[in-house]
Amino acid sequence: MPATSRIRFVLVGTQHPGNIGAAARAMKTMGLARLVLVAPERPLDEDAYRRSAGAEDVLGDAPVVATLAEAVADCWLVLGCTARSRRVQLEELLPEVAGQRAVAKAVELGEVAFVFGRERTGLSNEELQLCHAAVHIPSDPEFSSLNLAAAVQVLAYEVRMAYLALAAEPAPPPAAGFGEEPASHAQLEGLFGQLGQTLDDIDFHKGRAPESAMRKLRRLFAKAELTEQEVRLLRGILSDAQRMARLAGQNGG
Ligand code: SAH
């Protein structure tokens, strides 16, 4: 199976079914077949199938899930496509670089997701927080928002280009295999949940809003590309800190 079979395109809260059909077509032309729909506003209709123009299989196979977290739970790399640069402290990638990283991750046997937002409002900051990096097509800042399916086409094309470049290279030697799997998205979210709780338990914030520290910590850990083992180690340390905080609370209070 080609590495691109491990790359999925996730459409969040799409408002027009026709755009979903056009996105399926855009993907299929670039050899991509895995579409996931997160809580679309309306079910697939005739317009969606008409605009898929031969990519009905991609459309018909697309699972519908309730949340973005669910759609990317097993992913090693989650890339959020956004029409504007936000305050969210995420690394911002050019489409070409995003395509290359996605294919490299998929070759390592990791699941990869590109995430696209709603036509009107894009992705929420909370949804972008679930992404490891942001991807911005460097459009005219005065008119920066592409049609959803057009944005899907650009990213699908870049994935295709990265895949073709790799296929043209001689096969690399087999990986050394350290036996350490990268942590999944769900494992990282578990770590972030416990980290947030621990910071509360040890009274780290002292009245400051917790979100800013958590955003910076998420960015730090995204750079570290943690393995499953490292997540287990960190969670063990946090559990001990939480236990000590409980003890201190009992003794002091
Ligand atoms: N009005 C929305 C734009 C939504 S366009 C906003 O300002 O956020 C629908 C989706 O297409 C976006 O959520 C994004 O995933 C993708 N998209 C559109 N233009 C893009 C661009 N220039 N770069 C990256 N993704 C883009």
What CATH code would you report for 185-250? 1.10.8.590
Atom 26 in ligand 1: residue holding the nearest Cα: 83
What CATH code would you report for 3-167? 3.40.1280.10
Centre of ligand 1 to C-alpha 63, Å, is: 22
Q: Which of 114, 120, 148, 155 to mutate to test the pocket of ligand 1 (most atoms within 8 A of CB)?
A: 148
Mean pLDDT score, 240-252: 87
Residue 55 has pLDDT above 80, yes or no: yes
137 Cβ closer than 6 Å to some ligand 1 atom: yes
Percent share of the chain, pLDDT over 70: 94
Q: Where in the chain is the domain with CATH 3.40.1280.10?
A: 3-167
Centre of ligand 1 to C-alpha 82, Å, is: 5
139 Cβ closer than 6 Å to some ligand 1 atom: yes
146 Cβ closer than 6 Å to some ligand 1 atom: yes
- The reported pTM is 0.80
- Per residue in 130-148, pLDDT (tens digit) is 999 999 999 999 999 999 9
pLDDT of residue 54: 94
Distance CA 77, CA 109 (A): 11
Residue 88 neighbours by CB under 8 Å, 6+ apart: 125, 128, 129, 134, 215
114 Cβ closer than 6 Å to some ligand 1 atom: no
Atom 14 in ligand 1: residue holding the nearest Cα: 82
Contacts 24+ apart (CB under 8 A), 124-129: 125/86, 125/87, 125/88, 127/12, 127/68, 127/80, 128/80, 128/82, 128/86, 128/88, 128/90, 129/88, 129/215, 129/218
Residue 248 has pLDDT above 50, yes or no: yes
Centre of ligand 1 to C-alpha 226, Å, is: 29
Instruction: Pick 88 or 176 by higher pLDDT.
Output: 88
148 Cβ closer than 6 Å to some ligand 1 atom: yes
Centre of ligand 1 to C-alpha 10, Å, is: 13
Q: Where does the pLDDT of residue 102 fall: very low under 50, low under 70, confident under 90, or very high at 90 and above?
A: very high
Q: Where does the pLDDT of residue 167 fall: very low under 50, low under 70, confident under 90, or very high at 90 and above?
A: confident
- Per residue in 177-213, pLDDT (tens digit) is 455 788 989 999 999 999 999 999 999 988 888 888 9
Q: Where in the chain is the domain with CATH 1.10.8.590?
A: 185-250
99 Cβ closer than 6 Å to some ligand 1 atom: no
pLDDT of residue 64: 98
Contacts 24+ apart (CB under 8 A), 39-45: 39/12, 39/13, 39/64, 39/65, 39/66, 39/67, 40/11, 40/13, 40/14, 40/64, 41/13, 41/14, 41/15, 42/15, 42/16, 42/17, 43/17, 44/17, 44/20, 45/17
Beta bridge partners of 9: 35, 114
pLDDT of residue 181: 84
Give the atom of ligand 1 at the shortest distance from the alpha carbon of 123. Answer: 13
- Per residue in 66-85, pLDDT (tens digit) is 999 999 999 999 999 999 87
pLDDT of residue 174: 52
Residue 129 neighbours by CB under 8 Å, 6+ apart: 88, 215, 218
pLDDT of residue 176: 43
Centre of ligand 1 to C-alpha 15, Å, is: 13
Residue 86 has pLDDT above 70, yes or no: no
